[in-house]
Each structure stands twice: as C-alpha cells, then as structure tokens.
Structure 1
Amino acid sequence: MKKKSSRKRPSRFRLFRVIVLAGVLLTLALIFLVSTLGSQQFGSLHKLILEAVGPLQKTVSIGSSTVNRFKSEYVDILQDSLRLREKNKQLVKQLQENEIKLNRSREAMATNASLRKLLEFKNSLGQQSKLAASIIGKDPSTMFRSVIIDQGSNAGITKGDPVVNDEGVVGQVFAISPNYAKVLLAIAPSSAIDVLLQKSRVRGILKGDGTLTYRLEYILKTAEVQEGEYVVTAGYGGIFPTGLRVGVVSEIIRKPRGMFHEIKVTPSVDYQKLEHLLILHQPNLAEIKQLEQP
C-alpha cells in the first residue's frame, strides 16, 4: 500500500508543474497583449510577423488586382463579341434580303425581255387569233414529251392548235381542260409536221426522236440538200402557217441503199429554256360558217 502512494506523488507533482507553467505562459501572453494594445506600438514579435506576412499579402493583393482587371477586360471583350455577333447577324440578314431583291429584279428583267420578244413575234403574225400562255409543268416521259400550260378551253384553246414561240415551232395542243392544256412537243416520237427545205423547196415530214433533235424523212436522194439549210413549215393541212421556222439541217447521212436521205435537223427552239408560248387558234368549220353568216 505504501508503494502505491509513493508512485502517485510524482505523477501529481508533474501535473502540478504543467498547470503552473501553463498559467505562467497565459499570464505573460495577457501582459504582452495588454501592453501592446495599450501602447499602440508594434513589438519585436509583431514586426517579425509583419515582415513574414507582408510579401505574402502583397502577392495576394497583386494577384487579386490582376484577377479583377482580367475579369473586367474579359467582360468587356465578351460584351464586344456579343455586340459584334449581333451586328454580324443583322448584316447577314440584310445581305440575304438584298440578294433576294437583286434576284427578283434580274428575273423580272429576264421575263420582261422574253415577253417583249414574244410580243414582237405575236405582232408579226398579223390578224391570226393567238393566245399567250406560260408553262407550269413538264412530262419527263421520252415517248410523250409534253408540257402543261396555264390556258384551256375557257380561253378558246382547242385540240390540235399549233404552239409556237419567237424562235419557231414548239408543238401542238393534244389535251385540254377548262383552265389548262397539254402541248405535245415537236421533238416527241409521236409528233409529225409537214415541212419544206427553205432553199430547195423540197417537202418532207419532220419527226421527233425523243431527244433534242429531229429526223427529216421522205427526202429523195435526187434532191439537193445541204447542211445549214433552213427547215420551215409547209402549211399543208391548215395546221401550221407557212414559213414558220422549225430548224436547221445539221447532218446528211447518204446510205447506199434506199430511196431517201437520212437527215438530222437541229431545232430552232431551245426546248430546255421554254417558258412562254403562243397558241395559234385555227378556226374549225363550224366557226368558219358562223363567221360567213350575215
């Protein structure tokens, strides 16, 4: 029992010394703090701490200033970029609108020029009944190459009426409705037109072959035919007026056998650029009798 009591004394004494030392240090700290606050002067420790902390604080301050300046410049750049982007959108929109207006102006000028040529050709045909029409559709079939026009029986169009433009013969009306009609193009394989070689006055039949060329058939080998000679309508049958342009002889194939030349004709009409047409109305017998009545 005595041994246990002797062991407890040193541990208690050590604890007492720790408590006393802590009290002394706390007292010194309080005295140092009071003296510092009271005198408002920096002591050696404060100076040492200030020298150590000063550069760090300076670095932090410079960094903070740089960050703030960069942030301000970035915001300004971002705002300028947004303004430029909006301005660019406005300029692009304005450019597109101007291009649309320019394209409309060009289209109006081209249409006006085409209609002026058609009007001049219309006036050159004299007193024959004629009606202007525009193409609104095309049949891509090779066998039945045709176009749809925006005039029909309500405008006086009848089946078989010849169709022309300022370049020459285009085809014939072969189907009609009250407001629309189909025109069989002269280049269709089912088309056939009586024609004349303008120089030699030799008659033949012009047929389409489904491409952008004609075949001139039934021209005897005894006839004098030359490349470059013009082909015009013969006027037989009362369908097409005499002398309308059809095409130009582009190739003569002289075969050793057979009675006829094989002749290719290039159309005077550009079928890839058809827009506006003239329908030449041919009065039928009933209309002629009605006109002859007093």
Structure 2
Amino acid sequence: MVRALFHYSRTLLIVLIILFLINHLTRQASIVPSAVQHIIVYLLSPIQTVSALAMNGLGSAFTHYLYLVNLAQENEALRRKNTILENQIIALREIEIRNQRLTQILELKGLVEDPMIQAQVIARGPDHRRHVLRINKGEADGIHLNDPVINHHGAIGVIAALARHSADVHLLTDFNCYIDSMLQRTRVHGGIYGKDAETLVMKYVERESDVSTDDIVITSGLGLVWPKGIPVGKVAVVQATGNRLFQHIEVSPAVDFQAIEEVMVIVRPREEAQPRG
C-alpha cells in the first residue's frame, strides 16, 4: 500500500505540473494564435484525461485504504467482544452446573434423617493413594471418623483421617473398604468391596439367590455406619459357576469417582458411627 501511494504521489506531481502549464497557456490565449491553441488542446487532451484518471485512482486507493483500516479495527473489536461473551457463557454454564449439583445434593436430605455437612474436594491422593479424596471440612466443622460421604449420585466412601479444617475420604473403590448392602428388587444382602475405579464386587450372595443384571444395589442400614437406602451401584455381571457357594457379582458404581467436586458428609450419632467389626 505504501509503494502504491508513492507511485500515485509522483503521478500527481506530474499532473500538477501539466495543469500549471495548461493554465498558463490558457491565460496567454490572447497572444497565441487560434490554430496553435487548437493544436495544444488536441495534444494535451489525452494527458488531461490520463491525469484525471490518475487523480481519481489515487482518491479511490486512499479511500479503500481507509476502509480497510476501519474494517480491521472493527474486526478486532468484534473479536474482543466475542471472547468476552464466550468467557461469560462458560462462567454462567459453570454456575448452572454447580447449582444443579447442589439442588440434587439438597434433595438427598429428604432421604437421610441425619444432619449433613457440605464440602468441596480440594485434593486427590497420589497414585499409591488414588482411593483417597481430601475435602475442605474437618473436625472443627463437626465431622468425625467413619462418617459416610455421599453426593447426589450415591455412596462415595467414609471419613478415614481428620484435621481441624480438612478430612480424607476413603473411597469405595479401595478393596479394603466395605459396605453392607442389598439388592433393592429382591432385598438380598451382601457385602460391597472395592475392586478398581470402575468396578465394585458384591460378596457373600448365595448361588440360589435371585440376582439379575441391572439390579440396583443400595445400602442396607446394617453395620451402624451407613443409613439405609443410599444408592451404591447397579449389577453389571452375575456368575454362578462350578461348586462355589456364593455368586460372583460385579457392580458398576453409582458415582463417577473421577468427577467428584462436591460431597455431603452424613454426621451419624456417635454411639452408632463405629466401624463394623
């Protein structure tokens, strides 16, 4: 664009010189013979035409340059506004998702008679302690060891360690964690143990018991730790092979343990909240 303006500037200078000469000759018309005037006009007409086109072209180029500058500024302003709007949409969506989770968690209060304390997940255990979450509420907030921890989907684990303002949650996915549970449909009891992040195992269910895939597993209320009726998961695999006394039952957890952000700690009465022996 700068090179084009330089070219048109040089052309403009030439045009101005020619126009000056034409103006000068016109003023001297009284001393220039008529025939000579016609010859001059005839010779200069193409130059005048070219000069006019050059000036028009220069004006158009400059106008187009200003248009492009303004267009670039408008595009940049629109990009900035678009970025702001996108960030606002993301923030509003996060608020909406959080409110949905909190609403669902509060609905659990209708199922649990014991008081509950809301908490946020602030850390996850390293690889060798991947079955542990840390929350931002602790002993000073009224939480005790072995208190059950849930979210709006179901059972998560129990309080395993306490500090003044934080606590560690032992997840159901650990094979050392245990919940006395039952099938909601047939009321058959069994013990839930952790297997991995995506699978729980329901043990001690006799081979004659009525168990089907997709049966809902809930807490039984036995064991003096968990209240009755909290969702644990859904039966995914049922096998009764060989001469085994008990069926092999795998359960898909009700909770996605990789996506836990808020939890509710159920504060059980102290004479009840003791680990099952």
TM-score class, shorter-chain normalisation, is 0.7 to 0.9
SS state at 2:210 partner: coil
**Worse overlay, 206-215 or 216-225:** 216-225
CA displacement at 1:54 relative to structure 2: 6.2
Equivalent residue, structure 2, for 1:89: 76
Q: Confirm whether residue 104 of structure 1 aligns to residue 91 of structure 2.
A: yes
2:255 to 241, 263, 269: 269
CA displacement at 1:99 relative to structure 2: 2.5
Instruction: Note the residue ranges of structure 2 that are not aligned, 5 or more in a row.
Output: 1-27
TM-score by length of 1: 0.72
CA displacement at 1:208 relative to structure 2: 1.6
Q: What one-letter code is carried by the residue in structure 2 that aligns with 1:264?
A: E
Question: Can you list the C-alpha shifts for 1:14-67, whole angstroms capped at 9, x where unaligned?
Answer: xxxxxxxxxxxxxxxxxxxxxxx9x945699xx5xx959963x54444333322
CA displacement at 1:182 relative to structure 2: 2.1
Equivalent residue, structure 2, for 1:65: 52
**Worse overlay, 261-270 or 173-182:** 173-182
CA displacement at 1:256 relative to structure 2: 0.9
SS state at 2:198 partner: coil
SS state at 2:228 partner: coil
Q: Confirm whether residue 202 of structure 1 aligns to residue 194 of structure 2.
A: no
CA displacement at 1:264 relative to structure 2: 0.8
Instruction: Note the residue ranges of structure 1 that are not aligned, 5 or more in a row.
Output: 1-36, 288-294
Question: Can you list the C-alpha shifts for 1:65-84, whole angstroms capped at 9, x where unaligned?
Answer: 32222111111111111112
Tell me the C-alpha RMSD between the 2 structures: 3.1
CA separation of 1:158 and 1:66: change in aligned 2, threshold 3 A: same
Question: Can you list the C-alpha shifts for 1:84-127, whole angstroms capped at 9, x where unaligned?
Answer: 2212222222222223223322322222222112112124312x
Report percent identity of matched pairs. 25
Aligned equivalents of 1:141 and 1:210: distance in 2? 13
Q: What one-letter code is carried by the residue in structure 1 that aligns with 2:241?
A: K
Equivalent residue, structure 2, for 1:155: 141
Aligned equivalents of 2:253 and 2:94: distance in 1? 26
Larger CA Rg, structure 1 vs 2 = 1
Aligned equivalents of 2:149 and 2:235: distance in 1? 22
Q: What one-letter code is carried by the residue in structure 2 that aligns with 1:247?
A: G
TM-score by length of 2: 0.76
Question: Can you list the C-alpha shifts for 1:139-167, whole angstroms capped at 9, x where unaligned?
Answer: 36376323222212221222221101232
CA separation of 1:267 and 1:220: change in aligned 2, threshold 3 A: same
CA displacement at 1:214 relative to structure 2: 0.9
